[in-house]
Every structure is written in C-alpha cells, then in structure tokens.
Amino acid sequence: MADRPLGFPRAKRLRQHGEFERVYQQNVYAADLILVVQACRNNGPVTRLGLSVSRRTGNAVIRNRWKRLIREAFRTQQSHLPAGLDLVVRPRKGAQPAFADIRRSLLQLARRVDRSLSHRRMP
C-alpha cells in the first residue's frame, strides 16, 4: 500500500485509556477561545492525536462535527506540527468557529505546548 503523507493511520492516533492518562498526568496545556490542547512527549518521530469531546459540547451531531473538523485540521497540518508529541484536543463549549480558525488554533496551541515541554526539566 502506498504511503499517504496526509493520511490519518492508527499509528497517529491515541486510542487506549493509558495513552490519554499519560497526557493528562503531564498537565501541560494551552488554550484559546476555540480549543484546549494537552500534550506530552511520546519519544517517537510522529505526533499523535487524541480527541475528547464531552456531551456538554452539544448533541451527537455537534460532537461528531467537532471530531471531524479537528481530525481534518490535524491531518492537513501534521507536517507543520511539532514532532514527537501526544496531543489531546478538546473543543471549548459554545465555540462555533470556521474550519480555518480551528486549523490556525490547533497549530498555534501545539507549538505553544511544545515550547512549554521544552522548557520543563527532564527527570
């Protein structure tokens, strides 16, 4: 099968509870009016994405739309994102931004958490 540089294979997803817990325990995050991004290093070459869209965000249609938009923003921006991060992305309640705003927000917040992780002391 051909390598798809803009694909979103399983290797680029956070799927297990333990992977999400590791990101939450790191407690490094950045937020704006659209998204909240939490992150930790994954000691690998790729950045992986996990989504957390709660019921408070809206009904199933709204939640699924958020997930599609965030996944697409990640997929199209992955070459510009910092490498070696596990990201958990949550939408802000009440926000209804355009796709371009989500892309811009994801990129800015991922870079911000990468800088925060770079400034932390290594154990």
Per-residue pLDDT of the chain (123 residues; tens, 9 = 90+): 455 667 788 889 999 999 999 999 999 999 999 999 999 999 889 999 999 999 999 999 999 999 999 999 999 999 999 999 999 999 998 888 999 999 999 999 999 999 999 887 555
User: How far is residue 10's CA from residue 14's CA, in Å, rounded to a whole number?
Assistant: 8
Q: For position 95, what pLDDT does the model report?
A: 83
* Closest to 77 measured CA to CA, from 49, 97, 106: 106
Structure tokens that stand for 67 in this block: 């997930």
Q: Are 85 and 110 in contact (CB under 8 A)?
A: yes
Question: Yes or no: is domain 13-115 CATH 3.30.1640.10?
Answer: no
Q: For position 100, what pLDDT does the model report?
A: 97
